[in-house]
Every structure is written in structure tokens, then in C-alpha cells.
Amino acid sequence: MGLPLRSERRSTVLWTSSAAAVLALSLAACGGGSPSGDTAPTGAADDAGASGEVQTVTVGVMPLVDLAPLHLGIDQGIFEKHGLELELETAQGGAAIIPAVTSGQADFGFSNPTSLLIAASKGLDIKVIAAGGSSTGDEATDYGATVVLPNSDFESAADLEGHTVAVNTLNNISDSTVKEAVRQSGGNPSAVEFVEMPFPNMVAAVEQGTVDAAFLVEPFLTMGLAEAMKPVFWNWMEVSPDLMASAYFTTGALAEEDPELVAAFQAAIAESADYAESHPEETRSILDTYTSIPPETAAELRLPRWVDDINDDSLERLIEISTEDGLLDGGLSVEDVVLPDAR
């Protein structure tokens, strides 16, 4: 899933789909609990770092560009300053991370907001606590787009009616943002056929005609653009100009049981996001420590925008389109899924 991590403060365990399936059996008991064990208790964020007390916490992650601030925060000692040592457990996708957090195997996790909204709507104890990567709001720099062959006749999202689009996961943020783009351009989203496939296979699938279009994020977007592929629309921006495309989360039970621990993690992530945003070259350099992105691609790819607060309006838009697409069970509000102290 990526290259070895360079910091001794990081350890990596692979969560597989089978592990997720096992965890799913215990979701009826979604109480929080913390896998942090009997390590030293965490005081207030600043006090913990000053006193030298460090608590080990487990975080479910993926080898994605969006997570660069977290890795920078480790290397720069930001988490240590806030009294935290991170044990990173790498998963193949959010399908493993969400049950790991809700079952208490991990303290914190990373996912896309739509996955978290779906989980919350099904009754899982999900609380969004910090932003991950966000849209830049500019086609020249944004990091998620639906692309086609350069000589194709596709000019707008509505032209996708009756055609195939590759997405990495069905019934999630990928196809829901495509559907929203089709709706906004006057087309019929139900007339689009979605094909699930891994991101690394998509550029070749478009080139070979296996699919007509593909939704790409970095680093695959840069690879597609290098092959002269044409963006038809920019998925994040079709939903919100500053869409929060990923987020960190925990459980309400852990937030109630150990609010100082959660506050320390939030403070460290916010500081790390600010550092990544103001140090783009260091951000690019950190990528080869936890992903397989070649350095030459890392130097060219489009970075997300990293902010230190949660975008409520962005979440509200995702709730709207996810409800329209039938992804959410029952009514759901931003207040249901965002930890009050995080807003």
C-alpha cells in the first residue's frame, strides 16, 4: 500500500477487507472504549506536551495525499507537543476504518464524509472532529475531476447520459458527485452507468475504451492529464466550491469518556494542517514516506487545500445530495455527525 514510514513514532498494520468483515460482526456493540490501553493519561493539550506525558493513540489511515499533514505533524513533533504518539494502522479503504473506530479497535480514523454520513445514518456512533483535504475551488489547481479522452465529444456532465463512468466505490462520494454534476447540467443521473474499479486502473480503462469516463483524484488525475485527458467537470466544485472531501473522526463515546484526548488530537491536526498549507514543498516531499507516488509525480500533482476547521456548509451539501441519491437512512443533520466542540 505504500513505502515504509521513516519515523520511529509510526507503526503500520494492514487492515484488510476480511478484517473489516470480522469487525462488522461486533458493530451492534458500538460503544466507544479506547484501544489506547493503560498508557499515561492525557491532560490538557498544552499541559500534556509541557509535562512530558505522552499517550499512544491508534489512527486508521490510508496512503492518500490528503493525509500529508498528519505525517508532517508527526515528523515536525506537533503531535508529540500535544502529548500524543500515533500508531498508524493502514487500511485498504474506509470500509475497514469505520468499523475499527466504532468497535473500539482504533481511537481515530480517516475517511471521506459521505462514508461517515452513511455510517451515521445507519446508527453507528460517528463524530467528525477535523477536516482532511478540501477543494481548492479553482479548476487550475483542484484535485478531483471526471475525465474523458482528449478527442471525445463530451462537453458537459449531461453528455454522460447513456455512458459508463469509472468510480473507485459505488454508492459513495465518487458516484454521488458525478450524479450531482449531471443533475446540475440538466441531465438524468439515473441514465449514467457506473463501473467500480481501482483508481490505478482507470486511466488505462479510458484509453482502451473499457469505460467512457473516469473520476480521478491525485495522483491519478495528474497521470491522466499527462496523457492529455480532458476534464469534463471538477467533482468537488460541482457540489461546493470549498468541499471538504475527507475528514478525521472518532466516536461520541470516546469524546465523552476522554474529551481532553480528543481535543489534543484536534489541536495537533489543526496545527499540522496549517503547517502543510504553508510548506507545500515539504508536503510533497513527505509523500514518498507513506505512498508509492514517484517523486517526479509528487512534484507535479495538485495538492488539496488544508484548513483547520470543519466546513458545515460542505457537509450539509453532501447530506442533501446523498439523501437525494438514497444513500442515507432517515433524516440526518450536521449536528448529528459533527462533534459540538469541533464546530
The torsion angles phi and psi of 113, rounded to 5 degrees, stand at -60, -35
Q: How confident is the model at residue 286 (pLDDT cuts 50, 70, 90)?
A: very high
Lowest mean pLDDT among 31-40, 131-140, 219-228: 31-40
Residue range 239-251: mean pLDDT, rounded: 96
Q: How confident is the model at residue 62 (pLDDT cuts 50, 70, 90)?
A: very high
Structural domains of the chain, ranges and CATH numbers in brackets: 12-135+243-342 (3.40.190.10), 144-239 (3.40.190.10)
More confident residue, 52 or 242: 242
Amino acid letter, residue 195: V
Q: Which grid cell sits at 2?
A: 505504500
What's the confidence (pLDDT) of residue 95? Answer: 77
- Strand 108-111 with 55-61, pairing: parallel
Average pLDDT, the chain: 87
Measure the CA–CA gap between 173 and 241, rounded to whole angstroms.
15
Query: What are the pLDDT digits (tens) for 296-316?
Result: 999 999 999 999 999 999 999
Do 309 and 131 form a contact (C-beta atoms < 8 A)?
yes
Share of the chain above pLDDT 70, in %: 84
What's the confidence (pLDDT) of residue 240? Answer: 93
Residue range 175-202: mean pLDDT, rounded: 96
Do 87 and 96 form a contact (C-beta atoms < 8 A)?
no
Lowest mean pLDDT among 4-18, 57-71, 149-163, 209-223: 4-18
Residue range 185-190: mean pLDDT, rounded: 96
Q: How confident is the model at residue 330 (pLDDT cuts 50, 70, 90)?
A: confident
Q: How confident is the model at residue 51 (pLDDT cuts 50, 70, 90)?
A: low
Residue range 81-88: mean pLDDT, rounded: 98
The secondary structure of residue 265, as a DSSP letter, is H
* HEC secondary structure over 201-251: HHHHHHHHCCCCEEEEECCHHHHHHHCCCEEEECHHHHHCCCCECCEEEEC
The torsion angles phi and psi of 324, rounded to 5 degrees, stand at -65, -35
What is the four-CA torsion angle of 206, 209, 210, 212, rounded to 10 degrees? 60
- 107 contact partners, CB below 8 Å, separation of at least 6: 34, 35, 36, 57, 58, 59, 101, 250, 254, 261, 265
What's the confidence (pLDDT) of residue 342? Answer: 64
What's the confidence (pLDDT) of residue 331? Answer: 87
Look-up of cell digits 463512468: 165
305 sits in which H/E element: strand 305-306
